[in-house]
Structure 1
Amino acid sequence: MSLFSKIILKFFAAVFLGLSVLHLPVSSAEPVGFPNGESQLVNRLEAGKAQTVVTYGTSLTSGGAWVNQFAAALEERWPGKAKVLNSGAGGMWSTWGVENLESRVIAKKPNTLFIEFGINDAYLDYKTSVAKARANLENMIKRVLAAKADTEIILMTMNPPIANRLKARPEIKHYYEMYRQLAKEQGLKLVDHAVHWERVLEQNKNVFHRYVPDGIHPNAEGSGDITTSTLLSCLGVPPVSAPGKIKVLMVGGRGSHDWSGFYDILNLLLTKAGDFVLDLTLEIDSLREPYISNYDVVLFYGPGGDFTDPNQEKGLHDFVKNGGGLAGVHATDAFKRSDVYWRLMGGRFTTHRGGEFTIRIMDESHPVTSPFGDFRIHDETYQNEYHPKFKLHSLFRMDRGQEQQSMGWVQDYGKGRVFNTTLGHDGNAWKSEAFQAIVRRGIYWAAGREPK
């Protein structure tokens, strides 16, 4: 297991994405795209230049697991080249940031500087207006660039607070919006963590509470799954070289289903198999070229989501058409505005029931299902409308009264392969050994490998 994986017990999302300086409305629940190229940090490290990185902010930085996770990821990719210095301080805000900038930032001569003070500038007791917070931020930016003009300054929004932590910061969204506006106006890079955190909070509160148990400070798991994975994706940190391995990119962060719990199960399953590298991304922009081409298989889990840029949809389509693998697990109720996604997955969710039922193997000779006999499972019973251009090759179906629909199928699309199962709603299904084995074998097959 890699150094970074040991620290966060996850494989990080690693796709070549740039950083956004686009305006995002406060009410938006969609992630910002990253069209502006890689970060200077990655470009310089790729060129073999040693880099000093300073992180400057609140307790979300000083005690945040993301800083060590980020440092470990850079060390794993560029050994000995990146020094990450944590200059954050618990309980501090941007006024403190201005007062301590010389000793905590400028004196360290950073090549890249991350700044986040929004969470505490919004704290009522500090009586720091949005305008004052902006003035403080502008002061820090100006002084850092005056001292070292080639410093790459990256602004960050962070996770939203909840419950009593939110009551003490009722205007937090306006402070985060100020960061977006200032980044846009000054042409600075922005990593908009808040977008992803807000989506998790809106769509799956149980996951958010697991990630942020005290209502404001993400734990190591939450930092790894949301903050660190977003940061690495946005910076364009490439995957660690793994010759011979099947590189799988799971697209998570959508819908009300526990995509994080499924990721944990899938990570253990594929790690045990020994032939895979599994990365997690919350960025739909990961589907754009050339980023998607870093992977052998793209896997979608669960419902929800929309493409926000035609290049995302085109990237996925061309990836599969040109020989990439696609796997869907309980994912036909996703991207329902997209004809491309419907065509690739074959089916689109219409309705469901649930409970325990029998799965009948329909194709006993196919490499995915050849080892299996019929089995019982407790799950949702998705029904689907098939795309007019899709020809169903059913691997297995359910058998319960009038419910006889296919629950798993495959297709060839161009030079690529698609494996799709509508099973996998929650832990009741995930714990099934037959389900796990079918998913594993389906991913092997989608990658063009012999299933095992």
Structure 2
Amino acid sequence: MKSALIVYGGWAGHEPDECAAIYRRWLHEDGFSVRMATETSAFADPSIHDLSLIVPIFSAGKIEKAEVENLVKAVEGGVGLAGHHGGMTGTFRDAVEYHFMVGGQWVAHPGNIIDYTVDIADPMDPIMAGIKAFAYTSEQYYMHVDPSNQVLATTTFSGEHAPWIEGVKMPVVWKRHHGKGRVFHSTLGHKAKEFENVEMATILRRGMNWAARDE
């Protein structure tokens, strides 16, 4: 049986408890055994090297050196890593090894909650199969991203809230490898209610399963 660890907490505004419950349900339905933890100390546990998947949901958090070192080694060894929004890329600001692994870091969301469009960059990828461009209402994340990411979806900034970025096309969904591990990220999901969006939920759930190590 595949096994997963969800580590959740940090800034309450991203509703980590509610999001962790959704992930837990999905993972159980998809045949995973699931462990839950509310402290980043779980990343330092040697047993994480035996997992199929780790899901971080810890916005604006801090991570200790031993914790991030063990987490990175686990992913390099083949454990999958998947997550969304600030819970994965808006956290652990001082841990450069962590952001090298995940492939990006959140830096701004001009206009805060706005309407925008998510465009499909790679419709042939199985994660995006059957999904067409869709309207979305949330924070439109401006990211600093790794050019080696395989970008699956993008959004284009209008410039209404920051004129100097008008026309900038920004990754919204990507996947990558870090060592032997598969890493998946979606910037969507500021609030747990956004998981009700069919396209968002489908992409995230497929990406999570893609990232999980084969058993």
Aligned mates of 1:355, 1:276 — CA distance in 2: 35
Once the two structures are superposed, what CA deviation does each residue of 1:399-434 show, in whole Å capped at 9, x if it has no partner? 452353111111111111100111110034221111
2:38 corresponds in structure 1 to 282
- Tell whether the 8 Å contact from 1:378 to 1:428 is kept in structure 2 after alignment: no
Q: Does 1:431 align with 2:190?
A: no
Q: Aligned letter for 1:359?
A: V
Q: Is the 8 A contact 1:430 1:436 kept in 2?
A: yes
Q: 1:399 to 1:384 in 2, by over 3 A?
A: closer
| Deviation (angstroms), 1:289 | 4.3
1:444 aligns to 2:203 (yes or no): no
* 1:366 matches 2:106: no
Q: Distance in 2 between matches of 1:271 and 1:399?
A: 35
Write the mapping of 1:185-204 to structure 2, written as runs, cut at 5 A.
Answer: none
In structure 2, which of residues 51, 72, 87 is the aligned counterpart of residue 317 of structure 1? 72
1:335 aligned to 48, 73, 92, which one? 92
Residue identity in the other structure for 2:145: Y
Distance 1:326 1:397 in 2: 20
Q: In percent, how many aligned pairs have the same letter?
A: 25
The answer to whether residue 166 in structure 2 is matched with residue 409 in structure 1 is no
Which deviations, in whole Å up to 9, do the C-alpha atoms of 1:9-32 show, x marking residues without a partner?
xxxxxxxxxxxxxxxxxxxxxxxx
The answer to whether the 8 Å contact 2:68/2:97 transfers is: yes
Q: CA deviation at 1:325?
A: 0.3
1:26-425 to structure 2, matched below 5 A, reads 244=1, 246-256=2-12, 257-272=14-29, 274-308=30-64, 310-330=65-85, 331-352=88-109, 353-387=112-146, 391-401=148-158, 402=166, 404-425=169-190
Contact 1:362 1:396 in 2 (8 A): yes
Q: Of the two structures, which has the highest relative contact order with CA contacts closer than 8 Å and spacing of 6 or more?
A: 2
Q: Is the 8 A contact 1:302 1:329 kept in 2?
A: no
Corresponding letter in the other structure for 2:72: H
Taking structure 1 as reference, are residues 302 and 396 closer, same or farther at Cα in structure 2, changes over 3 Å only?
Answer: farther
Native 8 Å contact 1:364 1:370 kept in 2: yes
Report the CA distance shift for 1:416/1:290 in structure 2 as closer, same or farther (over 3 A): same
**Residues paired across the two proteins, number:** 201
Q: Which amino acid aligns with 2:76?
A: K
**Normalised TM-score (structure 1):** 0.42
Report the 3-state secondary structure (helix = DSSP H, G, I; strand = E; otherwise coil) of the residue aligned with 2:169: coil
Give the superposition deviation at 1:398: 1.6
Q: Work out the CA distance in 2 between the residues paired with 1:261 and 1:351.
A: 24
CA distance in 2, matches of 1:311, 1:254: 19
Over residues 213-253 of structure 1, what are the superposed CA-to-partner deviations in whole Å (9 max), with x where a residue is unaligned? xxxxxxxxxxxxxxxxxxxxxxxxxxxxxxx2x21211111
The answer as to whether partners of 1:269 and 1:436 remain within 8 angstroms in 2 is no
Q: CA 1:268/1:397 → structure 2, altered by over 3 Å: closer, same or farther?
A: same
Amino acid at match of 1:269: W
CA distance 1:428–1:378, change in 2 (3 Å): farther
What do residues 185-229 of structure 1 show as CA deviations (whole Å, max 9, x unaligned)? xxxxxxxxxxxxxxxxxxxxxxxxxxxxxxxxxxxxxxxxxxxxx
Give the conservation status (yes or no) of the 8 Å contact 2:120–2:154. yes
CA distance in structure 1 between the aligned counterparts of 2:128 and 2:173, rounded to whole angstroms: 10
Name the aligned partner's letter for residue 366 of structure 1.
Answer: D
Distance 2:172 2:26 in 1: 21
Q: Which amino acid aligns with 1:446?
A: A
Rounded Cα–Cα distance in structure 2 between residues aligned with 1:339 and 1:374: 33
- Give every structure 1 segment of 4 or more consecutive aligned residues whose post-TM-superposition deviation is greater than 4 Å: none
Q: Which structure is higher in helix share?
A: 1
CA contact (8 A) 1:359 1:397 kept: yes
Output the CA distance in 2 between the equivalents of 1:392 and 1:379: 23
Which is higher, the Rg of structure 1 or of structure 2? 1
For 2:117 and 2:154, the matched residues in 1 are separated by 8
SS of the counterpart of 2:70?
A: helix
Question: Residues 375, 277 of structure 1: CA spacing in aligned structure 2 closer, same or farther, 3 A cutoff?
Answer: farther
Which amino acid counterpart does residue 316 of structure 1 have in structure 2? L
Report the alpha carbon displacement of residue 371 of structure 1 after superposing the two structures with TM.
2.9
